[in-house]
């Protein structure tokens, strides 16, 4: 997946869906959506998002 087309002013906008069955990044209607397995409680989903983004190259 080519992410550079989603970068505007050094930012990427994504829709985050926590508490999903699997962690994955998809393109949907020309937008990025990331599904996370973590629940949105006590920063768990935020930490998973940071860890996932650190692995993207």
Q: How many domains does the chain have?
A: 1
- The residue assigned the tokens 């985050």 is 16
14: which strand partners?
Answer: 32
Candidates 49, 14, 18; CA nearest to 33 is 14
Q: Is the dihedral of CA 34, 13, 46, 10 positive or negative?
A: positive
Percent residues over pLDDT 90 in the chain: 74
Residue 10's domain spans which residues? 4-55
Give the whole-angstrom CA distance, residue 54 versus residue 11. 15
For the cut 70, the answer to whether the pLDDT of residue 48 exceeds it is: yes
Residue-averaged pLDDT of the chain: 92
The angle subtended at Cα 56 by Cα 47 and Cα 16, nearest 5°, is 50
Q: Give the model confidence (pLDDT) of 10-30 as tens digits.
A: 998 999 999 999 999 999 998
Q: What pLDDT score was predicted for residue 1?
A: 80
């Amino acid at each position: 997946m080519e992410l550079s087309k989603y970068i505007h002013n050094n930012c990427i906008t994504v829709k985050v869906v926590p508490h999903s069955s699997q962690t994955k990044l998809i393109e949907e209607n020309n937008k990025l959506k990331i599904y996370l397995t973590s629940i949105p409680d006590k920063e768990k989903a935020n930490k998973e998002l940071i860890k996932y983004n650190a692995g993207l190259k």
